[in-house]
Amino acid sequence: MTTLRLWPEEFEALRAEARAAVEAGLELFGDLRSADEASMTTDERVAFARERLAKNVFPSPDAIARDIAGVPCRIFTPDGPPRAVYLHFHGGGMVSGTPAMMDIPNQMLAHAHSVAVVSADYRKAPEHPWPAGPDDGVAVARWLVDNAQAEFGSARLLLGGESAGGYMAAITALRIRDELGAIDRVDGCNLVFGVYDWGRSPSQRGIRPHEGPDVLSPDGIAFFTDCFLPGRSDDERRAPQISPAYADLRGLPPCLVSVGSTDHLLDDSLMFASRAAAAGVDVDLFVAPDMPHAFFAFDCGITKRWNETVADWFEARLTP
């Protein structure tokens, strides 16, 4: 019999510090949880979502802006020959956000691990509902399968993203497997607090095992879902081609799945990770106790451990 623990014993001593960091840092996310959104029209709410994320964008002057397969991308290259190409997707609920949001982490990743980073600015809902965004992800992936070696000096691929970007990475990996027949080219998926059940998992609906604060809310998640998948029932939104948690996950590359225990997307990660492991996928699961969505924004001992885990995972994937 195996005892299931979602985090190591050593994290218990770090939880008080984590809660304090979240309480102090939530002021930075105050407008993410605005009570005024309920009175807005859809257009006003979309504009508000885009404006609030734009406030926290700090573009790097070193990013190379380039269209790949008709999709705007931001690219970072290492100082020497790349060991792989990391196809990255930003967050924003499939409604907002840009690759520049993650310029600094992506630039640091490129130099720390000697990878070329390609971050795709996929199309957003409600103007472009499903499958527009995933189609853009697959278009960039197809181009990289065909051209990464000649263009960047490495044919090896890694995929990853945060929040909606975690969803984009997972669904793109599945379509690389099923449509491109090239999943052997992908060495790993870095899936950070993603959406894997668009039929609204229990935690998305507010039924969480932990009542700690979060930067997401059930109402906000439902709004993004309605924008991305309008006119569909929850069961229809759980179709395997839409929700990765309901897909056949066999044959996927190693996955690092990360989520906080107070995140309204907690159940998505737990379900995806357990189903992937049951399907024979090599899964590393990092659950950050007492930490919300976007937990890496809150500096504490637990997030330091997460940064170390991510660095070790990348090195393991990149080591021949």
Q: Where do the domains of the chain lie, and which CATH numbers do they carry?
A: 9-318 (3.40.50.1820)
Q: Residue 118 pairs with which residues in a beta bridge?
A: 75, 87
Which residues of the chain form beta strands (DSSP E)?
A: 64-68, 71-76, 85-89, 116-120, 157-162, 186-192, 255-260, 283-288
Give residue-wise pLDDT tens across range 12-59.
999 999 999 999 998 766 545 554 677 899 999 999 999 988 888 899
Which listed residue (96, 103, 113, 163) is catalytic? 163
So what's the pLDDT on residue 31?
45
Annotation says 293 is catalytic? yes
CB atoms under 10 Å from CB of 148, counted, come to: 22
Spatial contact of 172 and 141, defined as CB atoms under 8 Å apart: yes
**Catalytically annotated residue among 136, 187, 197, 263:** 263
Residues 16 and 237: their CA atoms lie apart, in Å, by: 38
pLDDT in tens, 252-270: 999 999 999 999 999 999 9
Distance (Å, rounded) from C-alpha 31 to C-alpha 41?
A: 17
Compute φ and ψ for 313, nearest 5 degrees: -65, -45
Looking at the chain, the whole-number percentage of residues with pLDDT higher than 70 is 97
- 88 in active site: no
* pLDDT tens digit sequence for 87-127: 999 999 999 999 999 999 999 999 999 999 999 999 999 99
pLDDT value, residue 28 = 67
